[in-house]
A and B are shown apart, each in its own frame.
Chain A
């Protein structure tokens, strides 16, 4: 049994095994970069079909880096490193303390030499030559023997200890942060992830709740502006676990600032940390790259989303332009039925639409080549015949060459860009003038009158006098407006639905994605990092080169044995040994010849 254990440790600590593990781990890591990890399981099922989905699931491919087999490889690697470390620490430390120790020489074929020089003079000359070769020795003598040792890079062994200890410390820190006991509980079923994402938090069963004093966790929570939370959600497998927090996070405000080209510049969550009685303990602005550390818990700005924006919408009918627009309130994600049988799904609402001024057809201001077209709403309309089109409605009118327009983009399914419908707006800034004019035209043609240009102009003038008196005397403006109205009517021919949605008003609300982590093992990660870098520096740039000369008196002469050792190839140790032998031989012969 003991023998087997010893054999096992020999294999575990062998270099071949370690290098194989390094390579195996590298290859295994590739899997998770090729297959997107931690997606909803339905996506995988759709992608692989039922058989492969189940097979891959049992292999843990959807969360490779948390899969038992992957963690086992990692564990064995750490174990191997730890055993190597334990086995080698004594020799490495002894090597640093005791420089007189014998090493296996890599000096080559020499068997020693007997010189006719006396012990004293042989010691003296060898010491001076070693110094000349850059290996100034330390000398130890007795009456009958002497040792000369020169060690460059004495603390080379520390490099080995530091790098390997760093890996072990690192992994211990990471294991602590990964909360292994909890992984075990998940595995044996005493904790079960909740998979119903729409359930209110109070209904989540106890088995899906983590303890308040949990050792380590990484959770997240989506918090609409004005809301508070005392829990975070830890994603786990196909569901989530509820992690109670030691305080309440209240999101006071969420703010995005922008660059002039419309790219986001900063995401800021203005949060209050409160105790459970609503008392404010701390206020902080949490930004990307600037988390808040509070009582061992880190709070990060992770993402943002819509937090319940309320839209006031009007639907105007083109087929019955005279009818009062239907007013409706909606939130993003809602589906409305408009114009009897059209399904309108509110897709998104954005506060800004920054585009290059050239693309908007307006002249750029001096300060910036970009313009902000203001807020817009996107919605998808499904017609009764099943056709779909996407629409983009801008809240505020857009000015173009002296006339303001209501702007509405349309794109049918599969088309990459929007076609724009431009409806000129009247004195109220809305499309009511246009709709009223449409109504008048319709009334006239319903009476059987043929629609000619003259009829159209007459009705237009009448319309101006009743609902746009401010431009009564401005004929240029009238002409512009008339031209725009005619253009809009032409564009309407190709418009796919008989109505248009306008945004009458809105109450925008953000939600901040907040990440909450508790990682007490982090200090070990930093210690490990520092040790690792130090160790690598020592291993690479303080290589050990060691030359040792042993002399012992033999009658009149002296026996000389020179050994050497270097920690890396390309050193001059073998050459120095050769040269030292050569010198002592020449010196002895010279003495004989004299």
Chain B
């Protein structure tokens, strides 16, 4: 009798993956600190707030609160990133700069923190590959830790740079999502963060060997545009970009890109898993299993699709303000429509037709090229209204 009751309780969780949520003391602290933070922002800046700023603050507050409660490591990460960024901001405020303070020069200034991020993420990539071949759980743990360090330094870099855009020329200040350097930084940090989320949710460390190489390549590209192209130079925003819409449109887009990227690389793992099973290779043993990978793909694509849709709509509303048209068939717009249609097709095939398995994994994997072209290719190869990230 008793044993069966346990089984029913287990059934209550979807395949045991979504554990039921119980509050912990740290959640109270989280809610308290977020509310306090929002209150401080309101006290300091509400004089210069229009109603859109209230809306944006509200969105960030709700999104952070819920995400932190849903996935607690995010709370710790936020504390650490905030602490680092605030130390840097404080050091700047007392006249310490990269020129006269070694901590600023080598660690905390935006550029330096971004370099640390690249280093950690590249090391994590190598770590995950070693794990794939050695199956040592200590290596996996180290890789996860390195990824966390990379994520913390990445978001610290963004936070500090936000402050740095104001230093010396207050009218230049802007959220650091205005040029290719800044968005690549955001891409590396947010893709790694979302990867960590899926890894911890599904206890699937071997997927790092598939997801992180792309982050590693992005980090290398990021280093290249830093050292060869000097794109880390802070520049002010052109008039078209001076809009509150940017604070919503761009970060949301990058959360979507991050999720699409993860989905497609998990798709790649899924395909190799199938090959490995056929040939009796060892890969299938270390990968988390087809059902889990299928779940991750679906979760990532649905979440990405939701944000991509909202973000594209926000982009269209912004375009209506800035360029006088919701949709101008600018290459970036057209390619984002292509991405949207592609995933709409995928979701229809999956939910209505019930398609699963290797074919869908291929679809998800190949979508990476469409997404990457939309994100980078359009800026590198085509010209149009969105030409902010030219090399």
Contacts and interface: CB of A to CB of B under 8 A. Distances in A.
Interface of A: 15, 18-19, 22-23, 25-26, 29-30, 32-34, 36-37, 64-65, 129, 132-134, 174, 218, 259-261, 263-267, 287-291, 298, 300, 302, 515, 517, 522, 525-526, 529, 532-533, 536-537, 539-540, 567-572, 575-576, 579, 583, 586
A133 B171 contact: no
Contacts of A576: 11
B67 to A, nearest CB: 14
Nearest to A580: B8
Interface string B289-333: 001001100100011011001100100110011111111010100
Given A15-B349, A33-B378, A65-B329, 17 more contacts: A19-B345, A26-B345, A29-B338, A29-B341, A30-B338, A33-B331, A288-B239, A288-B322, A291-B324, A515-B324, A522-B326, A533-B310, A533-B313, A536-B305, A536-B306, A540-B303, A569-B294
A476 B3 CA distance: 105
A589 to B, nearest CB: 13
Contacts of A515: 324
A264 B309 contact: no
Contacts of A302: 323-324
A328 to B, nearest CB: 36
Nearest to B243: A289
B344 A22 contact: yes
Interface residues of B, number: 62
A581 to B, nearest CB: 12
Contacts of A572: 11, 13-15
A264 B338 contact: no
B309 A300 contact: no
A29 B337 contact: yes
Interface string B238-272: 11101100000000000000000000000000000
A291 B326 CA distance: 14
Interface in B1-56: 4-5, 7-9, 11-15
Nearest to A177: B326
A575 B295 contact: no
Contacts of B342: 22-23, 26
A485 to B, nearest CB: 39
B8 A33 contact: no
Contacts of A32: 329, 334
B326 A525 contact: yes
Interface in B281-295: 291, 294-295
29 contacts: A15-B352, A22-B344, A29-B334, A32-B334, A33-B331, A33-B334, A33-B384, A64-B329, A65-B329, A132-B12, A134-B11, A218-B324, A259-B172, A260-B169, A265-B236, A266-B242, A288-B322, A291-B324, A515-B324, A517-B324, A517-B325, A529-B317, A532-B313, A536-B305, A540-B305, A540-B306, A568-B351, A570-B14, A575-B11
Contacts of B325: 218, 517
Nearest to B339: A26
Contacts of A533: 306, 309-310, 313
Most buried by B among A64, A65, A289, A532: A289
B348 interface: yes
Given A265-B236, A533-B313, A19 B306 contact: no
Interface string B94-133: 0000000000000000000000000000000000000000
B382 interface: yes
Given A65-B329, A533-B309, A576-B11, A287 B239 contact: yes
Contacts of A291: 321, 324
Given A260-B169, A536-B306, A289 B324 contact: no
Nearest to A266: B239
Given A30-B338, A132-B5, A263 B235 contact: yes
Contacts of A525: 316, 326
Contact of A567 (B242, B303, B351): B351
B353 interface: yes
Contacts, number: 145
A492 to B, nearest CB: 37
Interface of B: 4-5, 7-9, 11-15, 169, 171-172, 235-236, 238-240, 242-243, 291, 294-295, 298, 302-303, 305-306, 309-310, 313, 316-317, 320-327, 329, 331, 334-335, 337-338, 341-342, 344-345, 348-349, 351-354, 356, 378, 382-384
Contact of A261 (B12, B236, B317, B349): B236
Contacts of B351: 539, 567-568
Contacts of B327: 174
A263 B378 contact: no
A526 to B, nearest CB: 8
Contacts of B309: 532-533, 536
Contacts of A23: 341-342, 345
Contact of A537 (B236, B306, B345, B378): B306
A567 B341 CA distance: 22
Contact of B341 (A22, A260, A263): A22
Contacts of A570: 14-15, 291, 294-295, 298
Nearest to A173: B326
A22 B236 CA distance: 39
B341 A25 contact: yes
A18 B348 contact: yes
A132 B310 CA distance: 38
A515 B329 CA distance: 17
Given A517-B324, A532-B313, A133 B341 contact: no
B356 A569 contact: yes
B382 to A, nearest CB: 6
A134 B11 CA distance: 8
A540 B300 CA distance: 11
Nearest to B303: A540
A522 to B, nearest CB: 7
B341 A579 contact: no
Nearest to A540: B302
The 3 closest A-B pairs by CB, nearest first: A134-B12, A288-B239, A300-B324
A541 B19 CA distance: 16
A261 B233 CA distance: 12
A569 B291 CA distance: 10
Contacts of A218: 324-325
Nearest to B377: A33
Given A288-B322, A289-B321, A19 B349 contact: yes
Contacts of B353: 15
A8 to B, nearest CB: 20
Given A26-B341, A575-B11, A289 B334 contact: no
A570 B341 CA distance: 24
Contacts of B310: 533
Nearest to A568: B351
